[in-house]
Amino acid sequence: MPELLQFAFSGLTVGAVYALVALGFTLIYNASDVVNFAQGEFVMLGGMITVFLHLAGLPVPVAAFAAILITVLVGLALYAFAIDLARGSGAVQIIIITIGASIFLRGVAQVVFDKRFHALPPWFGSEPIRLGGAAILPQSLVVLTGAALIVALIFLLIDRTILGRAILATATNRLAARLVGIPVRRIVALSFALSAAIGAVAGLLVTPITLTSYDVGTLMALKGFAAAMLGGMGSAPGAIVGGVLLGLAESFGAGLISSKYKDAIAFLIILFTLFVRPQGLFGKKSTERV
């Protein structure tokens, strides 16, 4: 029993991170129809920049804040210099551009930082909290709380503000959005900035638990993509549910079967979704796009 609780908790923790990555995929996909495979690099940058600024002597909160800002700038640059310039190209070309951007960012990170693993100090120590026989890291609670806060903020933005409605309007009908005066390119740029910020926060929150290195983004993107597919590409609630389910599946799979195949679960979920329910759990059959 205590093991199951333990698996559930670690599953929830990584699941929360996957959910954030999937939410990043969703935001960009919704505003622009682009599947941004550089999403994982935002997570890597959030962790690595915080680590190196901290090593350089900045306190963690300051380093974290700077890391988020820099990652947002990278996200905006990705939009301006790669995606926007390729406007009018097909979906496949744009996906290849984001994969290229992801490889490029990894290469730059390898040169600017290094190829080793790095950790950050946990925010509230590393003394586990005992609960029903399971040991919970305080940092897990930080990750869960942080993820919940971000999700709440994004939902407030989308649901309660005219800016959020404009993001949805741009997703639903870009021509009509332009005709009412919505600056659709700035809206898409905003979605890149938000996704970058979310990815960076996910990265710096989870680094004390999972460590980080220049190449963690690849697997992160795969996991986030699987989560977004499972939930239904384009659905924000789907991204959250998909992320948590994937985290739990990995954790229980690793605990009960074998940890060797942990990373294969994301692949299995992608294939399973494609065969059984291509629109995902929360996705609509066909979306109305112009």
| Interface ranges with another protein (CB under 8 A) | 162, 165-166, 168-169, 172-173, 175-183, 288, 290
DSSP of 155-212? HHHHHHSHHHHHHHHHHH-HHHHHHTT--HHHHHHHHHHHHHHHHHHHHHHHHHHH-B
- Residue closer to another protein by CB (options 111, 162) is 162
Q: Which amino acid would we find at residue 275?
A: F
The count of residues in the chain is: 290
Question: DSSP label at 260?
Answer: G
Smallest gap from Cβ 94 to another protein, in A, equals: 20
Cβ distance to another protein smaller for residue 28 or 147 = 28
Q: How far is the CB of 58 from another protein (least distance, A)?
A: 38
CB pairs under 8 A, 24+ apart, for 261-266?
Answer: 263/219, 263/222, 266/222, 266/223, 266/225, 266/226
- CB of 272 vs another protein, minimal distance in Å: 27
* Nearest distance in Å: CB 167, another protein: 11
Residue 110 structure tokens: 């390898």
| Cβ distance to another protein smaller for residue 143 or 182 | 182
CB of 189 to another protein, least distance (A): 14
Q: In the complex, what is the shortest distance from the CB of residue 145 to another protein, in angstroms, rounded to a whole number?
A: 31
Q: Which of 165, 262 has the CB closer to another protein? A: 165
Report d(CA 276, CA 224) in Å as an integer: 19
Beta carbon of residue 174, minimum distance to another protein (angstroms, whole number): 10
Which residue number, 95 or 157, has a Cβ lying nearer to another protein? 157
Residue closer to another protein by CB (options 92, 288) is 288
CB-nearer residue toward another protein: 47 or 231:
231
The residue among 85 and 256 lying less far from another protein, judged by its C-beta, is 85
Largest CA distance in the chain: 60
Q: Which residues, listed in sequence order, are joined to residue 131 by a DSSP beta bridge?
A: 134
Which string of DSSP letters, residue by residue, matches 110-144? HHHS-SS-B----TT-S-PEEETTEEE-HHHHHHH
Report the nearest approach of another protein to the CB of residue 164 (Å): 10
Query: Rounded to an integer, what distance in angstroms lies between the CA atom of residue 24 and that of residue 231?
Result: 13
Helix (H) or strand (E) holding 21: helix 2-32
Rounded to whole angstroms, the Cα distance separating 266 from 25 reads 15
